[in-house]
């Protein structure tokens, strides 16, 4: 897998000694979704973890990343301190489990095929071909 990251010019440098508790990261992501900033926050969160060796389970890190993408500091604080999004996250997790997604990342392709785990681009191309869909654009 590491070869695929290099081949595709991606950085793979998650913190080697940290397996983050992502509950609060998911909560801030849901806040971002409500504010139409989900994609930009998600992308920033993933870069922080996968490329920058950042512990995305640390509330101080989440505050910094949220500020970088324009999330309101007071709303972030309220989200980190509360459980406003817990029901939404739980429902989403249960839905993922019900269709066979048991790990992160998990992908449901065309509502017919589940891929769990990180895979090189050619695996997605094969999956799309199996479904009769066009390959992933490079």
Which has more confidence, 104 or 82?
82
pLDDT digits (tens, 9 = 90+) for 40-59: 999 999 899 888 989 999 99
HSE-up of residue 47 (Cα within 13 Å, Cβ side): 9
Q: Phi and psi dihedrals of 12, rounded to 5?
A: -125, 100
How many beta carbons lie within 10 A of that of residue 94, not counting itself? 9
Residues of the chain with CATH 3.40.30.10: 2-95
Q: What Cα–Cα distance (Å) separates residue 83 from each residue in 21, 22, 24, 67, 76?
A: 15, 14, 9, 20, 12
Residue 134 pLDDT level (bands cut at 50, 70, 90): confident
Look at residue 81 and tell me whether its pLDDT is greater than 80: yes
Which has more confidence, 113 or 5?
113
pLDDT digits (tens, 9 = 90+) for 8-45: 666 666 666 778 889 999 999 999 999 999 999 999 99
Angle between helices 23-34 and 86-98 (to 10 degrees): 100
Does the pTM of the predicted model rise above 0.75? yes
Note the pLDDT of residue 105. Answer: 79
Note the pLDDT of residue 7. Answer: 62
Domain boundaries 2-95, CATH class: alpha beta
HSE-up of residue 67 (Cα within 13 Å, Cβ side): 9
DSSP 8-state symbol, 105: S
Look at residue 104 and tell me whether its pLDDT is greater than 80: no
| Mean pLDDT computed over 63-91 | 97
Look at residue 98 and tell me whether its pLDDT is greater than 80: yes
């Amino acid at each position: 897998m590491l070869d695929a990251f290099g081949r595709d010019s991606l950085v793979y440098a998650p913190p080697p000694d940290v397996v983050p508790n992502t509950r609060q990261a998911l909560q801030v992501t849901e806040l971002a979704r409500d504010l139409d900033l989900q994609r930009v926050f998600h992308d920033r969160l993933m870069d922080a973890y996968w490329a920058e060796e950042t512990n995305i389970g640390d509330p101080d890190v989440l505050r910094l990343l949220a500020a970088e993408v324009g999330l309101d500091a007071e709303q972030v604080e309220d989200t980190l301190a509360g459980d406003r999004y817990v029901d939404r996250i739980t429902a989403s997790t249960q839905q993922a489990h019900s269709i066979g997604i048991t790990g992160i990342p998990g992908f449901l392709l065309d509502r017919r095929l589940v891929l769990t785990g990180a895979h090189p681009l050619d695996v997605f191309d094969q999956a799309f071909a199996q479904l009769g869909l066009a390959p992933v654009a490079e």
